[in-house]
Structures are given as structure tokens and as C-alpha cells.
Amino acid sequence: MSANQVALWYLVASICFIFALKGLSHPTTARRGNALGIIGMAIAVVVTLAVVYSASKNVAMILIGIAVGGAIGAVIARRVQMTQMPELVAAFHSLVGMAAVLIAIAAVHNPTALGLANPIPAGNKLELFIGTFIGAITFSGSVIAFGKLSGRIRSAPVIFPGQQLLNLAIGVAMVGFGIWFFMADPREHYWLPYVVMTGLAFLLGFLLIIPIGGADMPVVISMLNSYSGWAAAGIGFSLNNPMLIISGSLVGSSGAILSYIMCKAMNRSFISVILGGFGAEGGTAVAGTEQKQVKSGSADDVAFMLSNADSVIIVPGYGLAVARAQHAVKEMANALREKGVNVRYAIHPVAGRMPGHMNVLLAEAEVPYDQVFEMEDINSDFGSTDVVLVLGANDVVNPLAEVKGSAIYGMPILEAHHARTVIVNKRSMAAGYAGLDNPLFYMDKTMMVFGDAKKVVEDIVKALA
């Protein structure tokens, strides 16, 4: 196959990827989009296989690698629980990051195999440097994000004095070694600066993510999504491969947009999220407030209130995901609908641990998507709603967001406090991620139901029958 033919096939594959993203504008077109994505990937792989075969005939190991990796990926994709999606995505990001680093190492070791001149021209070295450090940061950052999301390490922010300064110093040192690598010649002198630079990048990725706490994970995971794309694009630049550049840029801009949406939904700047530590210092403020009275009730009380309502809005949060209560919630909604109650769901953009987390859980429980509403579409309806049922959400319904001077002032919230009655299910009175007390819990019209979301909802279903 000529280089021109290869490039044209890559163009076809790239267009498939663009349609894969485009399809996600609506649930009915999304599956066709995904199928096109698979076709695009297949084209890219087959064409590349042909290129390698005509150059060296050494394709056996490649096929074995694809078979082993593909089998592992297929098994994981089949077995993973929907509640585990955030950690799965984080784990996948780390693989892309590591693959980028490995490719760069192989390129430094044997430039000609990857179509580079030997010694490597300065421009390609610069690009290898960029691909390597983004890949390395993506890898170690994603490993930490994976650990936090899966509960293998504590999700609380880890902060220590001089943290930002240390990160800055490491970043500067990394760039310094990058410049050394850039200047180094001949090839025997590449390794020392390259290895040190890569090590520093791994360290930096680790240090960048440890200060970021659980509820900021939607931003982090979107950001790492973006990085994994830029890493692929960086490698594409160093290998002069338009396929990698185009796909990497698509992914990079997608992740960047998601990060932006998530930041906006928390009314926080991207920088403040990245610097981390949010909520860690707020814990003391809660302890300082005097004990206020809340009204608490049982599942039977809730069932009575729900069945007497005309309209109910359910606000799911991370607590629902933790308790895996989505199926029980669906059952409850069905029972209420049979009684003629209008049940809808309101989703805050940062509910859960990744963008769209709640939507997927509800879809898994076969909740029709026309009952599920985004924040801006349903917020004006809370005032005319009889009962709002908040399941394991806290900060996203905190009316303090409307109070000047509070830590979350200006964050768009679901205006649950405008409803006639509010029922809040939580495991305990512990403060939310922002470390703030929630005045919603102390309102006269609010009833608290303590306990695991799944258990509580199942009890409600029993009481409704």
C-alpha cells in the first residue's frame, strides 16, 4: 500500500470517529455511532498491520498483543457493574497514558522502526518529550483517580505545606531535563535526561491528583480524558501520523469541554479544582455550628406522603450509586405511577463521580429517558411539585448556594427547597463534600430518612404495596 493510500484510509477512519461522537447527540443515533467507531478502529488497525507487514513482516507479536489485550478488554467490558464506570474509565485512561510512554521509549530506542530519522531531529524530540510527559502524567494521575474512585485509597484530599511549590519545582525540573534531552546528541546521550524526565512526569501526575477529593472527581476524570487524547496527539506529531493527531485532538477537546461543563456546574474555576484541597478545611466549620433539630421519619411515612402526592421529583446523588439503589428506585417509581403520581427525575451535572453517571445508572434500571431531566429543564418545576425525594445527594441541593459569602455561593443547584415537601435520604447527618451544613435539612417542610438508600427505598416499595 502506498503512503497516500494509507493516509486516505486513515482519513476514512477519522471520519468514522467523528460520526461516533456525533451520534451521541441523541440516544437513538448513539448505537449507530458506536458501530461506526468500531469500523473506524478496525480500518486503522488493518491498514497499519499492512504497513508493518510490508516493511518488516513482523506482525505475529502484534497480533498476539492485540488478541491478549482485546480478550482482557472484552471480559472487563462484559463484567463491569454500571456503578463502577468511573473507576473503569480512570483505569482505561491510565492504559492510554502508559501506552504513549512506551511508544515514545521504543521511538527513542529505535527511531527508524517508527519512521523517524536517526539521530532523531530536534523537532521530533520536542514532540516525543511532549507525548511522553503528558502520557506519564495521564498514567500516574489516572492510577490515583482509579484508587480513589474504587475506594482502594482514601478519597479525601491529601494536602501538605508547600505542595504547590513542590509541584512547580518538579514541573520546572521536568522541563529542564526535557530541554537537555532536546539538546542531547548523539543517541547514546538521550537516555539519562529522557529517563529522569519521564520519572519526574510520573511523580507529577501522582502529586497533582492526590490533593483532589471525591466530589471533584467529575472534573478530574474529564481532565484525564482530555490528557489521554493530547498524549495520543503528541505521539502522532512525533510519528508524523495524522490518524493519531486527529483522533487525539477529538478526544482532547471532548475531555476539555466536559471539564468545563463540570467546573461550571460547581461554579469553580478549573485552576481551583486542580489546586485541590477543597472541603478539607471546611470540616471544622460544621463542627462549630450548634446542634439544630431535624425532623426524621420512617419509610412508611415516606410511602404515605409519596402516594398522596400528585407530582414527585426524585433527585439522585452519589449515595444512590454507592448503595446500588437504582433498581429499587425504578420499582418505587413504577408503584407510584400506577397510583397516578407523576414521577420525574432531576439530574445535577455533577451528581455522582463522573459526567452522566446518574443517567447511566437510571438507564440500567430501565427508567425511560423521557422521565429524566437535566437541571435547567426542571428547575422551574420544583415550586409546583408536591414532594421532592433526595436520595444520597447533598451539595447539589444546598440552598446555601444562593447565600452570598458561603463556600458554594453561585453554584447552580437543583431548587428542591422550593417544593411543598422535601424528603431527604442520607446515611447520617455528615456534611457533604464541601464541608458545609445544609439548611435544607432543617426546614419545617423537610423530613429526613436515615439509612442506606437501597434499604430505605425497598422499605418504601413494601409500604406502597
Q: Cβ closer to other proteins: 36 or 460? A: 36
444 is catalytic: no
Q: For residue 331, what is its C-alpha cell?
A: 420499582
Residue 372: closest CA among 384, 363, 385 = 363
Q: Cβ closer to other proteins: 55 or 168? A: 55
Query: For residues 449 and 90, what is the distance between their CA atoms, to the nearest angstrom?
Result: 33
How far is residue 14 from each of residues 37, 42, 240, 281, 397, measured CA to CA in Å? 9, 11, 15, 46, 41
Q: Cβ closer to other proteins: 116 or 423? A: 116
DSSP state, 366? T
448 bridge partner residues:
296, 424
H-helix segments, 242-373: 242-266, 270-275, 283-288, 299-307, 318-323, 326-338, 357-364
Query: For residues 400 and 265, what is the distance between their CA atoms, to the nearest angstrom?
Result: 15
Asked if residues 200 and 177 have their Cβ atoms less than 8 Å apart, the reply is yes
Question: Residue 450: helix, strand or coil by DSSP?
Answer: strand
The region that residue 267 occupies, defined by phi over 0 for left and psi between -120 and 50 for alpha, beta otherwise, is left
Q: Shortest gap between Cβ of 163 and other proteins (angstroms)?
A: 28
Q: Shortest gap between Cβ of 63 and other proteins (angstroms)?
A: 9
Q: Cβ closer to other proteins: 65 or 383? A: 65
Query: For residues 47 and 51, what is the distance between their CA atoms, to the nearest angstrom?
Result: 6
Q: Cβ closer to other proteins: 149 or 299? A: 149
On the 0-12 / 13-18 / 19+ scale of CB atoms within 10 A, 456 is buried
Cis omega before residue 119 (within 30°)? yes
**Annotated catalytic residue, options 216, 395, 437, 459:** 395
Residue 85: closest CA among 12, 150, 161 = 150
Q: Cβ closer to other proteins: 321 or 389? A: 321
- Residues with active-site annotation: 395
